[in-house]
């Protein structure tokens, strides 16, 4: 006898069933773990900040337990990020739009999400001079990251008097 909410063995999942819910739980968990590690915070530290146990954080990060909105707000506050960070590109069925078809565990550590946010912010900037300065800043920072100790190559713009 099946209980309410159980699926028959071998039956394909239908819309709104646990497989779709599980994908979004895993994606959100990966984002929690990635952000926590980026912030150099331990599971214990995050758990204490949220008033829960470290094993509960681990279950959220692995997608084993569903996370309530209230708990997601606690975690977002503890990690100093807007709650939308965790659900930003999920579609109605709980799948990541940026990684459709990809294994949710293999999400790129938040890099795609960060890039999409930067792109969205970029599109909101209307001043061409501000965009030029930002491009130069990013080019300079990227050059410093790729070749430590080497000064970035000038972009060809003349900032000072001509020689």
pLDDT digits (tens, 9 = 90+) for 17-58: 444 456 788 888 888 998 898 888 999 999 999 999 999 999
Kindly state the percentage of the chain with pLDDT values over 90. 21
Domain count, the chain: 2
Inside any domain, residue 147: yes
Has residue 91 been placed in a domain?
yes
104 and 24 assigned to the same domain:
yes
Sign of the dihedral defined by the CA atoms of residues 92, 96, 99, 101, in that order: negative
Q: Quote the mean pLDDT of the chain.
A: 72
Higher pLDDT: 139 or 71? It is 71
Q: Residue-wise over 14-45: b if at least 16 C-beta within 10 A, else e?
A: eeeeeebebbbbbbbbbbbbbbbeeeebebee
Residues 26 and 61: their CA atoms lie apart, in Å, by 7
Q: Which domain holds residue 123?
A: 110-154
Q: Which long-range contacts (CB under 8 A, 24 or more apart) does 110-113 make?
A: 110/30, 110/31, 110/34, 110/35, 110/38, 113/31, 113/85, 113/88, 113/89
Tell me, what's the pLDDT at 134? 87
Say if residues 123 and 114 touch (Cβ distance below 8 Å). Answer: no
pLDDT value of residue 21: 53
97-126 mean pLDDT:
58
Q: What is the pLDDT of residue 34?
A: 87
* Residue 90 β-bridge partners: 96
Split at pLDDT 50, 70, 90, the class of 78 is: very high
Answer yes or no: is 2 within a domain: no
Average pLDDT over residues 65-77: 94
Residues 101 and 27 occupy one common structural domain: yes
Which pLDDT band, with edges at 50, 70 and 90, does 11 fall under? very low
Phi, psi of 62 (to 5 degrees): -90, -5
Residue 14: pLDDT above 60? Answer: no
Both 26 and 55 in a single domain? yes
Has residue 117 got a pLDDT over 90?
Answer: no
Question: Do 103 and 116 have their domain in common?
Answer: no
Domain assignment of residue 146, yes or no: yes
């Amino acid at each position: 006898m099946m209980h309410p909410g159980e699926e028959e063995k071998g039956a394909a999942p239908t819309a709104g069933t646990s497989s779709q819910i599980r994908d979004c739980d895993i994606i959100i968990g990966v984002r929690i773990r990635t952000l926590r590690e980026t912030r150099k915070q331990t599971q214990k530290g995050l758990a204490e900040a949220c008033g829960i146990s470290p094993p509960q954080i681990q279950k959220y990060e692995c997608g084993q337990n569903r996370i309530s909105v209230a708990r997601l707000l606690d975690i977002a506050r503890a990690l100093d990020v807007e709650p939308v960070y965790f659900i930003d590109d999920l579609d109605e069925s709980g799948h990541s739009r940026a990684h459709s078809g990809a294994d949710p565990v293999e999400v790129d550590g938040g890099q795609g999400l960060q890039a999409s946010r930067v792109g969205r912010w970029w599109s909101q900037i209307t001043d061409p001079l501000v965009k030029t300065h930002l491009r130069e800043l990013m080019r300079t920072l990227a050059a410093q990251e790729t070749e430590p100790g080497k000064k970035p190559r000038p972009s060809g713009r003349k900032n000072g008097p001509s020689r």
